[in-house]
Amino acid sequence: MRDHKLLAFFGLKYNPFLPAIPADDLWVPPGADSFLFRVETLVLDGGFALIGGDPGLGKSKLLHLVATRLSRVDGVIVGTAERATSSLGDFYRELGHLFGVNLSPANRYGSFQALRDKWREHVRSTLFRPVLLLDEAQETATTTLNEIRILGSERFDSENLLTVVLCGDGRLPDRFRSADLLPLGTRIRTRHTLQPYTRDDLLGFLEHILSRAGAPQLCTPGLCGVLADHCAGNPRILCTMAEELLEIGARRERSVLDEALYLDVFDRTPKKARRTEARS
């Protein structure tokens, strides 16, 4: 079913189970408010912050929340690096694009100085450090991560010209234990590690996304409980199952998704055996 027909059938503003959630409607995970506050204060002095956790727990969405909140602060400029696997030369090109500096890849030292001059001027005029966000940072080369550390360091490492938020899976903190990246690991001033969510957390997540999408009654309480119980504490798995139910429910013209639909779609027990179990 085409997206607009699906949304019209259920009365949805957007599909709450797909990643493209409007920034204002993003769910704030439990415990993340204090981390967001610390990052907002970090822009006054600069330095490193880290978001970690297993795939599917919402690291990128939390980074999106960071970007949204910081971009609303007057005087704060936020640059988001989009290619974590870039070579060092390409990374400099991307920094030049993000912060409005004409860089010459052939002159690495000149590029280094031009970026730092730009950041110094920004700090003098606003008192805020520019912000660099780097998602999937576990894929970033060691030389690039160390270059970020050196780029942002000022006055014998007593000051920072840049605020950096690194986001990555469990491999990223492990990398900071290596000798090559230990100097960067010890400079991380605040971090938030996402863990698998409890049943209550996931029920709150479902309530939030359904309400913000404009259809709080889309899923029955029973189905919400079943989804929360069978996703291993992982919102991505939950949304994948719910998205499949949404598509099938629309094709079957079921305006409300319930446990019966879940069993019909995901229960691998043969129907005859299922009826026998129900009678017993």
What tokens does 91 get?
């990374």
For the chain, 280 residues long, give each residue's pLDDT as a single digit of tens.
567 888 999 999 999 999 999 999 999 999 999 999 999 999 999 999 999 999 999 999 999 999 999 999 999 999 999 999 999 999 999 999 999 998 887 788 999 999 999 999 999 999 999 999 999 999 999 999 999 999 999 999 999 999 999 999 999 999 999 999 999 999 999 999 999 999 999 999 999 999 999 999 999 999 999 999 999 999 999 999 999 999 999 999 999 999 999 999 998 666 555 455 455 4
How far is the C-alpha of 257 from the C-alpha of 250, rounded, in Å? Answer: 9
The CATH number fitting domain 31-194, selected from 3.40.50.720, 3.90.1720.10, 1.10.260.40, 3.40.50.300: 3.40.50.300
What tokens does 84 get?
């974590």
> How far apart are the two ends of the chain, measured CA to CA in Å?
39
| C-alpha closest to that of 24 among 64, 76, 81, 79 | 64
CB contact set of 90 (below 8 Å; sequence gap of 6+): 83
What tokens does 260 get?
């019966």
What tokens does 139 get?
């894929």
Element (H, E) at 153: strand 153-154
| C-alpha closest to that of 252 among 265, 270, 239 | 265
Domain range list for the chain = 3-18+198-279, 31-194
**DSSP β-bridge partners for residue 78:** 131
How far is the C-alpha of 64 from the C-alpha of 3, rounded, in Å? Answer: 24
Q: Are the CB atoms for 170 and 51 separated by under 8 Å? A: no
Q: Are the CB atoms for 33 and 62 separated by under 8 Å? A: no
pTM over 0.95: no
How far is the C-alpha of 52 from the C-alpha of 40, rounded, in Å? Answer: 18
